[in-house]
Amino acid sequence: MQQLSNYKGWIIALLALATLLRFYGLADENLWLDESFSWAQATMSYGGMMSTVMVDVHPPLYFNVLFATVNVLGESEFVLRLPSVVFGLLTVWMVYLTGLRLKLGRYALAAAFFVAISVFQIRYSQEARMYALTAWLSVVSMYAFLGLYRDDAGKRHWFFYVLATALLLYSHIFGFFVLVAQYAYVLLTWLSSRINARVSFRRWFGLQLCVGLLFLPWFGVLLGQVSRVQSGFWISRPTLYSLLETLQFYAGGNLALLICGAALLCGATLWLWRSTEMVGQSEQPSDVSPLPFLLLWLALPNLIPFAVSLVSQPIYYWRYTIGASPAWYLLVALALSYLARRSGKQSLAIVIVAMIALVQAGPLYSYYTTLSKTRWSSVAEYVESQADSVDAVFIHNDNIIDAYRYYSKRNDLRLETLVGPSAFFAQNANAGAAGVETAGSGNRMLELADRRERLWVVLAHTAQTEYNSRNVEELLSPEYVMERSEPFGRWALVQEYRLKDRSP
């Protein structure tokens, strides 16, 4: 508590900065596809939402939070993203507390500062998805895990750990890899004479049994979700560069990664030097060894899904690993604390913190001034300002129809989807495959068109299905001719078709 009060003013200032950066421009961007899916689920009945979540690939915790938020505050972009803002701010706070528990002192502030200004963290604190929740619960679980090694660890610490870890598993499936990092560290303490093995096998087994019992109601659903992912998913096979790319996202760019990497290398060298000096000397085992702990936290939630993706259905994607990202910021802060202690120059570490902050904050301007998400409001407005009530609108897939519906102002237009959700998510999907709903083959599309004078086709993210602008034009060509094709940013395209015998 004394450490906390020593830096009270600083952490309040950091939280104020983090709040400003996360609320600024919160509703400027349109919802993108995944966010519109979150909206569609949150505005269903509770039973309908849970039924939909059970056939999705994510656990239910975030959607329950969003469901409650929407039913109380409404469904604007601001409200939909508000829970993520809160979780993002809580992550800054918990990284600071975790740094204090790792005995980083003032450098816990540095770790929290890096999280506060990280574009990676801000981005997912401004998105109506579960990633900010996962990042926060990862830190909470790790903080609670460290509490198990306190001298006064008791039932309240055990209860806190079990609850935090169970909630983490309910937030994202990659939470399991954070749990594996905890297993690895516990094993390390049992094997090492330099780290206090305060958590006995019996206690650890009991804690994990409690976590398992809390997760048991969802376990059967999880097996079904894993099976669906293994049968086909949208993620491509990663390469070694994918791991480097993930670190680039954590760090905030190549230059920030280079500076942080140099600091980490210096810190690791100093740690190894100190360890070599202590060989042969009697030393009391430490409660927690920060470097191995943080390395396991950073590495295993990245390396395990990466390895799985090389031999099985790919699941590794950088945003899914957000639960490991707090370890990166804490590792950099730890390296700076080693550097300051060994060199005796706090000013050197402060200069490096300033350099990292400067280059890490560099992408913020581009982030706030560049609209990177498809303007679905413009797509809906373009179609609905010109379409007649007798026109038909074909939407590429069920995810896109959610984004379109969110911004739609009319309910008199007939909407049809070309591809069902299973085709959209499966790699190399083919029309007519099991479980695929499709308007597809030309005859079916023409049948749905029903010789209406005009059709509108909204296409986006078509690479993994048979439908793209050329194919749709060919499928409709027996009866329709394309009049216009209007792009909307990088991903979306709207086509207008007219009956051939009525084309001007």
> pLDDT tens track of the chain, all 504 residues?
556 667 889 999 999 999 999 999 999 999 999 999 999 999 999 999 999 999 889 999 999 999 999 999 999 999 999 999 999 999 999 999 999 999 999 999 999 999 999 999 999 999 999 999 999 999 999 999 999 998 788 899 999 999 999 999 999 999 999 999 999 999 998 887 666 668 889 999 999 999 999 999 999 999 999 988 887 788 899 999 999 999 999 999 999 999 998 888 887 787 777 666 554 454 445 567 899 999 999 999 999 999 999 999 999 999 999 999 999 999 999 999 988 887 777 788 888 899 999 999 889 999 999 888 889 999 999 999 999 999 989 888 777 889 999 999 998 888 888 765 443 334 333 333 322 234 555 567 788 888 889 999 998 876 545 566 678 888 888 899 999 999 998 888 899 999 987 545
How far apart are alpha carbons 40 and 407 in whole angstroms?
A: 12
How far apart are alpha carbons 302 and 243 in whole angstroms?
A: 7
Res 180: pLDDT: 98
CATH number for the region 376-502 comes to 3.40.50
How far apart are alpha carbons 392 and 187 in whole angstroms?
A: 62
Res 196: pLDDT: 67
Instruction: Identify the CA nearest to 168 among candidates 62, 256, 55.
Output: 62
The amino acid occupying position 252 is: G
Res 104: pLDDT: 92
Res 267: pLDDT: 79
Instruction: Identify the CA nearest to 137 among candidates 162, 161, 167, 174.
Output: 167
Q: Which residues make Cβ contacts (< 8 Å) with residue 27, sequence separation at least 6? A: 76, 77, 78, 81
Kindly report the backbone phi and psi dihedral angles of residue 46, in degrees, each rounded to the nearest multiple of 5, phi listed first: -60, -45
* Helix spans in 231-375 (H): 240-251, 254-277, 290-311, 325-343, 346-361, 363-369
Which residue is listed with tokens 């490096």? 352
* C-beta separation of 474 from 457 below 8 A: no
Angle at 131 between CA 171 and CA 227, to 5 degrees: 55
Res 430: pLDDT: 34
Residue 498: strand, helix, or coil: strand
How far apart are alpha carbons 237 and 390 in whole angstroms?
A: 44
Element housing 416 (H / E)? strand 414-419
Which residue is listed with tokens 């804690």? 207
- CATH 3.40.50 placement within the chain: 376-502
Residue 35: strand, helix, or coil: helix
Res 153: pLDDT: 82
358 to each of 68, 93, 355, how far by Cα in Å? 38, 21, 5
407 to each of 65, 401, 429, how far by Cα in Å? 23, 10, 28
Res 119: pLDDT: 96
Res 275: pLDDT: 62
247: its two tokens: 């670190």
Element housing 406 (H / E)? helix 398-407
- Sign of the Cα pseudo-torsion (415, 68, 116, 329, in order): negative
**107 exposed, middle or buried (CB, 10 Å; 0-12, 13-18, 19+)?**
buried
